[in-house]
A and B are shown apart, each in its own frame.
Chain A
Amino acid sequence: MDMVKPLRKPRRSKGRRTYRWREALWGYLFILPNFLLILVFTLFPVLFAFGVSLTDWSLLSLPVFVGLKNYVNIFQDPVAKVTFKNTLLFTAMSIPLRIILPLLLAVALNQKIRGIAFYRTCYYLPVISASVAVSMLFMWILDTNFGLLNRLIIAVGLNPVGWLTDPQYALFSIVLVTVWRGLGFNMIIFLAALQDVPEDLYDVADIDGANALQKFLYLTIPLISPTIFFLIITGIMDSFQSFDLVYNMTEGGPARSTYLIGFYIWRQAFEYLHMGYGAALAYLLFFAILLITLLQWVFRKRWVFGER
Chain B
Amino acid sequence: MKNKRLLIIMSALMILSLFLGACAPATQEAVETEEAVGEETEAVSEETEAVVEEETEEAEVEQTTIRVMSFFAYDNPEVEAGVVEAFEAAYPNIDVELEMVPLSDIITKYKTLVAGGEAPDIISLNFENTSQIAALGALEPLDDYIASDGYDMSIYYDNTVGMYQMDGVQWAMPATFSDVVIFYNKTLFDEAGVDYPAEDWGWDDLVSAGEVLTQDTDEDGVTDIFGYALAWWPMYLFLNGADVLTEDGSACALQSPEAIEGFNKMVDLQSEGGIAPSRGDLATQGDWDMFIAGRLAMYPTGPWAVQPFNDSITDFEWDIAHHPAGAQKATFLFGNAYAMSSSSENKDAAWEFLKFATGPEGGQIRQEGKYEISTVKSVAENEFLNSLAGAFPESAIVFMEAAEYAMNPPKTPYWSEVHDAIWPELELALMGDLTVEEAMANACTAVNAILE
Binding site for B on A (CB under 8 A): 2-3, 6, 25, 29, 32-33, 36, 40, 58-61, 76-79, 144-145, 160-162, 165-167, 252-256, 267, 270-273
Interface size class of B (residues with CB under 8 A): 35 or more
Please report which residues of chain B, range 400-426, place their CB below 8 angstroms from some CB of chain A when the two chains form the complex. Answer: 414, 416-417, 420-421, 423-424
Taking CB atoms, residues of chain A closer than 8 Å to B283 are: 144-145, 160-162, 165-166
Taking CB atoms, residues of chain B closer than 8 Å to A145 are: 283-286, 289
Complex partner residue of A271 from B19, B416, B442, CB under 8 angstroms: B416
Q: How far is the CB of B354 from chain A (nearest CB, A)?
A: 22
B16 & A267 in contact (Cβ 8 Å cutoff)? no
User: How distant is the Cα of A161 from the Cα of B8 in the complex, in angstroms?
Assistant: 67
B416 & A272 in contact (Cβ 8 Å cutoff)? yes
User: How distant is the Cα of A13 from the Cα of B152 in the complex, in angstroms?
Assistant: 91
Is the CB of B33 closer than 8 A to any CB of chain A?
no
Complex partner residue of B3 from A2, A25, A32, A76, CB under 8 angstroms: A2
A165 & B279 in contact (Cβ 8 Å cutoff)? yes
User: How distant is the Cα of A256 from the Cα of B11 in the complex, in angstroms?
Assistant: 54
**A22 — nearest CB in chain B belongs to which residue?**
B4
* Leading 5 A-B pairs by shortest Cβ distance: A255-B427, A256-B424, A162-B283, A255-B424, A144-B283
Is the CB of B106 closer than 8 A to any CB of chain A?
no
B427 & A254 in contact (Cβ 8 Å cutoff)? yes
Taking CB atoms, residues of chain A closer than 8 Å to B15 are: 32-33, 36
A29 & B416 in contact (Cβ 8 Å cutoff)? no
Taking CB atoms, residues of chain B closer than 8 Å to A77 are: 449
> Beyond the given A2-B4, A79-B446, A166-B279, could you list 20 further A-B residue pairs with CB under 8 A, ordered by the A residue number?
A2-B1, A25-B8, A33-B15, A60-B137, A61-B136, A77-B449, A144-B282, A144-B283, A144-B284, A145-B285, A145-B289, A161-B283, A165-B279, A252-B420, A253-B427, A255-B424, A255-B428, A255-B431, A267-B420, A271-B417
Is the CB of B355 closer than 8 A to any CB of chain A?
no
Taking CB atoms, residues of chain A closer than 8 Å to B16 are: 36
A60 & B114 in contact (Cβ 8 Å cutoff)? yes
User: How distant is the Cα of A128 from the Cα of B173 in the complex, in angstroms?
Assistant: 46
Taking CB atoms, residues of chain A closer than 8 Å to B420 are: 252, 267
Q: How far is the CB of A16 from chain B (nearest CB, A)?
A: 16
Taking CB atoms, residues of chain A closer than 8 Å to B445 are: 78
Is the CB of B115 closer than 8 A to any CB of chain A?
yes
Taking CB atoms, residues of chain B closer than 8 Å to A253 are: 423-424, 427
Contact sample, A vs B, 24 pairs, CB 8 Å cutoff? A29-B11, A32-B15, A36-B15, A59-B115, A60-B111, A60-B137, A61-B136, A77-B449, A78-B442, A78-B445, A144-B282, A144-B284, A145-B283, A160-B283, A162-B279, A162-B280, A165-B279, A165-B282, A165-B283, A254-B427, A255-B428, A271-B417, A273-B132, A273-B136
B279 & A272 in contact (Cβ 8 Å cutoff)? no
B19 & A40 in contact (Cβ 8 Å cutoff)? yes
User: How distant is the Cα of A252 from the Cα of B424 in the complex, in angstroms?
Assistant: 10
Taking CB atoms, residues of chain B closer than 8 Å to A58 are: 136
A270 & B108 in contact (Cβ 8 Å cutoff)? yes
Taking CB atoms, residues of chain B closer than 8 Å to A61 are: 136-137
Taking CB atoms, residues of chain B closer than 8 Å to A161 are: 283
**A3 — nearest CB in chain B belongs to which residue?**
B4
User: How distant is the Cα of A219 from the Cα of B408 in the complex, in angstroms?
Assistant: 68
Taking CB atoms, residues of chain B closer than 8 Å to A6 are: 1, 4
User: How distant is the Cα of A60 from the Cα of B111 in the complex, in angstroms?
Assistant: 8
**Contacts A3-B4, A61-B137; A78 near B19 (Cβ below 8 A):** no
User: How distant is the Cα of A78 from the Cα of B286 in the complex, in angstroms?
Assistant: 31
User: How distant is the Cα of A273 from the Cα of B427 in the complex, in angstroms?
Assistant: 25
Q: SS class of chain B's interface: helix, strand, loop or mixed?
A: helix
User: How distant is the Cα of A139 from the Cα of B442 in the complex, in angstroms?
Assistant: 31
Is the CB of B252 closer than 8 A to any CB of chain A?
no
Is the CB of B12 closer than 8 A to any CB of chain A?
yes
Taking CB atoms, residues of chain A closer than 8 Å to B285 are: 145
Taking CB atoms, residues of chain A closer than 8 Å to B428 are: 255
Q: How far is the CB of A284 from chain B (nearest CB, A)?
A: 18
**A36 — nearest CB in chain B belongs to which residue?**
B19
**B112 — nearest CB in chain A belongs to which residue?**
A59
Taking CB atoms, residues of chain B closer than 8 Å to A33 are: 15
Chain A CB within 10 A, most for which of B3, B12, B16, B283: B283
Please report which residues of chain B, range 245-285, place their CB below 8 angstroms from some CB of chain A when the two chains form the complex. Answer: 279-280, 282-285
Taking CB atoms, residues of chain A closer than 8 Å to B414 are: 272
User: How distant is the Cα of A253 from the Cα of B1 in the complex, in angstroms?
Assistant: 67
A32 & B289 in contact (Cβ 8 Å cutoff)? no
User: How distant is the Cα of A165 from the Cα of B421 in the complex, in angstroms?
Assistant: 18
User: How distant is the Cα of A165 from the Cα of B420 in the complex, in angstroms?
Assistant: 16
B115 & A60 in contact (Cβ 8 Å cutoff)? yes
B279 & A3 in contact (Cβ 8 Å cutoff)? no
Is the CB of B244 closer than 8 A to any CB of chain A?
no
User: How distant is the Cα of A261 from the Cα of B180 in the complex, in angstroms?
Assistant: 35
**B20 — nearest CB in chain A belongs to which residue?**
A40
Q: How far is the CB of A4 from chain B (nearest CB, A)?
A: 9
Q: How far is the CB of A199 from chain B (nearest CB, A)?
A: 51
Please report which residues of chain B, range 93-116, place their CB below 8 angstroms from some CB of chain A when the two chains form the complex. Answer: 108, 111, 114-115
The 8 A CB mask of B231-245 against A (1 = contact, 0 = none) is 000000000000000
User: How distant is the Cα of A273 from the Cα of B280 in the complex, in angstroms?
Assistant: 35
Q: How far is the CB of A218 from chain B (nearest CB, A)?
A: 47
Is the CB of B138 closer than 8 A to any CB of chain A?
yes
Q: How far is the CB of A88 from chain B (nearest CB, A)?
A: 19
B19 & A3 in contact (Cβ 8 Å cutoff)? no
Chain A CB within 10 A, most for which of B4, B15, B445: B4
User: How distant is the Cα of A273 from the Cα of B112 in the complex, in angstroms?
Assistant: 11
Taking CB atoms, residues of chain B closer than 8 Å to A165 are: 279, 282-283
Taking CB atoms, residues of chain B closer than 8 Å to A60 are: 111, 114-115, 136-138
Q: How far is the CB of A118 from chain B (nearest CB, A)?
A: 38
User: How distant is the Cα of A36 from the Cα of B17 in the complex, in angstroms?
Assistant: 11
User: How distant is the Cα of A273 from the Cα of B428 in the complex, in angstroms?
Assistant: 27
User: How distant is the Cα of A30 from the Cα of B286 in the complex, in angstroms?
Assistant: 62
Is the CB of B7 closer than 8 A to any CB of chain A?
yes
User: How distant is the Cα of A2 from the Cα of B2 in the complex, in angstroms?
Assistant: 9
Taking CB atoms, residues of chain A closer than 8 Å to B424 are: 253-256
User: How distant is the Cα of A160 from the Cα of B424 in the complex, in angstroms?
Assistant: 23
User: How distant is the Cα of A59 from the Cα of B112 in the complex, in angstroms?
Assistant: 9
**B135 — nearest CB in chain A belongs to which residue?**
A58
**B450 — nearest CB in chain A belongs to which residue?**
A272
User: How distant is the Cα of A260 from the Cα of B446 in the complex, in angstroms?
Assistant: 18
Q: How far is the CB of B98 from chain A (nearest CB, A)?
A: 24
The 8 A CB mask of B119-145 against A (1 = contact, 0 = none) is 000000000000010001110000000
Taking CB atoms, residues of chain B closer than 8 Å to A78 are: 442, 445-446
User: How distant is the Cα of A76 from the Cα of B448 in the complex, in angstroms?
Assistant: 13
Taking CB atoms, residues of chain A closer than 8 Å to B421 are: 79
User: How distant is the Cα of A79 from the Cα of B416 in the complex, in angstroms?
Assistant: 15
Taking CB atoms, residues of chain B closer than 8 Å to A255 are: 424, 427-428, 431
